[in-house]
A and B are shown apart, each in its own frame.
Chain A
Amino acid sequence: MSVRVNKEKCIGCGKCTDVCPGNLFALSEGKALMCYPKDCWGCVSCVKECPVGAIEFFLGADVGGNGSVMTVKEEPGVLHWRIEKPDHTVTEINIDRRSSNRY
């Protein structure tokens, strides 16, 4: 379970380095770097905080990962979650911040 940074998309703003509860990111040559992939808790704080969707969350093969990646885009009031499988099929789930868990 970890995250990887898409260097093409990363703008080097450093928000992920601030917000990671494990202090696991650093900026290197103007881009975010996940320094300790095995130390990621999987909280996806960085994925939510990234303003350009450059951070992808994935499951390690040891916990059932099969090559899919998850990203999330934050808009006022809504979180747009996106899961892309290796065959490029996409599942999108939108969560209204004003709606509560029903269970």
Chain B
Amino acid sequence: MNKELEIKQLKTDVLVLGGGTAGCYAALTIARNSDINVLVVEKADIRRSGCLAAGVNALNAYITKGHVPQDYVDYATKDAAGIVRNDLLLTAAEEFNNVTHDLEQLGLVILKDENGEYVARGNRNIKINGENIKPILADAVKEQEQIEVLNHVNITELLVEGNRIYGAVGFSVREEIAYVIYAPKVLVATGGAAGLYRPNNPGFSRHKMWYPPFNTGAGFAMGIEKGAEMTTFEMRFIALRCKDTIAPTGTLAQGVGAKQINSKGDIYETKYGITTSERVYGTVCENVEGRGPCYLKTTDISEEQSEDLLKAYLNMAPSQTLKWIESGRLPHEQDVEIEGTEPYIVGGHTASGYWVDTNRQTTISGLYAAGDVAGGCPQKYVTGALAEGKIAALAILKTFSENESDNAKMKDEMDGVTADNIKYSSETEFSSDALPHSITAQAKQALSGYEHILGAEQSEYSVEDLEEAMQKVMDEYAGGIATNYRYNEKQLALAKEKIEQLILLSEKLKADSMHELLFAYELKERLVVCKSVIAHLMGRKETRWHSFNENLDYPEEDPAFYGYVNSRLEGRELKMIFRPLVTGERYEHSVC
């Protein structure tokens, strides 16, 4: 079978990959402050995509009354045992409140007291009705004429030459159309990675996970493949969640003050420490030592609080409300069982992601990163994703207003690009002569990759087979749920070998539809991310964060590792780079 894809060539000033929180807000910031054109490409629909599809009921990064941004930086730094970027945390924290007020202007409901002040939950959080936070953002984006949104298009490849970005290539998940998009500036905001490890519920409810199963680490994989430097993938995020539904626990712990108790009814949380990773670790230890299951004690709350919790969960994790009602016992009548999730790689919670400068530019010139795909800035959460989108957008705008020669030159080159739609075959010349030859070659290679998978007659293994195999390897050899998140170097070496074998098998997949093509690429992306995770776990020869990186060969913290474990693909090998801590207020990439 010879599949002919129609090719659409597009050009824009700023290309935003991913229409989640960070991507939408970046596009909005550019449109409000300039006449520059923005194209947002989203693999689903920006109205309900990314991790806020179901909603959120608190903003967990806000500078509450009596606090300053530095307080937030200090808290996040301590929680991450020092492995953060001070400049990134500070610049994000300085924007938390601005972006919050802007969201309120756009229609977000925030709880206020009788004096009109936001009601704080703890020191850093405020309470909202964020069920419709994505529709609010999407509506704001749609009002801007300069922003074009391409929904249901999945990007798989960045176009990079001479360490400079030229655009990206992808395909429609619905129609037989491929897209080659040229832009002098690209923002990657595709989120983090779920589905690398075997999930809590591996059967029918395999996708009932904390982080969206549709966030496959595409942005990480694209960057890794093109030699972008990545940081701290070994700081995996494991969430402490309500058992089965994997619903958030913050509303119970911080909202109604529910304590973590073991099956004997003893409060154990203070015994192990209260950092994010220690709360998970404590629960693991109680289970290992035979005192499980563990719970959040909700049976001493009032009936009225119980009713309110039903509503609170409907606004962010409706499955938990359904579970309470279905079981016939509300939260004041039964404690809520808790468990740790499978590990995720997510820069909104831990410090994993692209190694960026203070402006959120990656090590590839013209490529920026914001939100869960950007590293060094843990606990940025929703407001941090908005803040990073804004910071990156303003930095991009500055390059246009300064009439940077790069942008101008690239725009000239792109003028030669024809906007005609063409049928693709390997002989088609579809690009401007003015663009570097290797850019059109890369685009062609990506397109023939799609054609190859769509044209394959048969494959030995299905995407599902290989995904299961990958999750099993990560679970058993790279510190998943099966080993209580622990691993040693021998296991990691086996994990590396097995993942490399699966990568070879993934080159022989077939797809009968554009949607199956999406599944094939999602698997490929995850495998690339898995390989980096394993390399990073090997690179940090200490245990800096219990559970997140629990290295049994090096069970203690080691001052020699008080810095960043980074990586960059050189040839076909990941080169590990150890960088000393950045403590200043600005950081720029050094010119190689």
Contact = CB atoms under 8 A, between A and B. Distances in A.
Interface of A: 1-2, 18-23, 35, 37-45, 49, 57-66, 68, 70, 79, 81, 83, 85, 91, 93, 95, 97-103
Given A39-B207, A39-B213, A97-B109, A81 B326 contact: no
A21 B244 contact: no
A1 B319 contact: yes
B251 A101 contact: yes
Contact of B204 (A2, A41, A93): A2
A93 B312 contact: no
Interface in B301-336: 305, 308-312, 314-315, 318-319, 321-323, 325-327
B315 A95 contact: yes
B57 A63 contact: no
B205 A101 contact: no
Given A22-B213, A93-B311, A100 B49 contact: no
A62 to B, nearest CB: 5
Interface stretch (B126-134, B178-186, B414-422): B126-134
Interface in B326-349: 326-327
A103 B152 contact: no
5 contacts: A2-B205, A35-B515, A59-B205, A65-B326, A95-B314
B331 to A, nearest CB: 11
B171 interface: no
B205 A70 contact: no
A43 B247 CA distance: 11
Nearest to B132: A97
B173 to A, nearest CB: 5
Interface residues of B, number: 59
B255 interface: yes
Interface stretch (B40-48, B370-378, B394-402, B477-485): B40-48
Contacts of A23: 43-44, 152, 173-174, 515, 518
A21 B49 contact: yes
Given A19-B45, A21-B50, A100-B111, A61 B204 contact: yes
B212 interface: yes
A83 to B, nearest CB: 5
Contact of B129 (A37, A66, A99): A99
Contacts of B256: 103
B109 A83 contact: no
Interface in B23-60: 43-45, 47-50, 53-54, 57-58
A21 B48 contact: yes
Contacts of A35: 515
Nearest to B305: A103
A66 B321 contact: no
B111 to A, nearest CB: 4
A101 B312 contact: yes
Nearest to B308: A102
A42 B207 CA distance: 8
Contacts of A61: 204
A101 B326 contact: no
Contacts of B58: 101
A101 B201 CA distance: 28
A21 B245 CA distance: 18
B75 to A, nearest CB: 21
* Nearest 8 A/B pairs, CB to CB: A103-B255, A100-B111, A45-B48, A43-B54, A63-B244, A101-B57, A60-B204, A60-B205
A65 B321 CA distance: 12
Contacts of A70: 318, 322
Contacts of B235: none
Contacts of B509: none
B5 interface: no
A41 B213 contact: yes
B121 interface: yes
A100 B203 contact: no
A21 B203 CA distance: 21
B207 A40 contact: yes
B105 to A, nearest CB: 15
B439 to A, nearest CB: 29
Contacts of B203: 60, 62
Contacts of A64: 244-245, 323, 326-327
A101 B111 contact: yes
B44 A63 contact: no
A38 B206 contact: yes
Contacts of A22: 44, 207, 213-214
Given A62-B204, A101-B57, A103-B251, A93 B319 contact: no
Interface in B199-257: 201, 203-209, 212-214, 244-245, 251, 254-256
Contacts of B174: 23
Q: Which of B132, B207, B251 has the most CB of A within 10 A?
A: B207
A37 B318 CA distance: 17
A45 B53 contact: yes
Contacts of A58: 322
B245 A83 contact: no
A57 B44 CA distance: 20
B127 A102 contact: yes
Interface string B541-564: 000000000000000000000000
Contacts of A37: 204
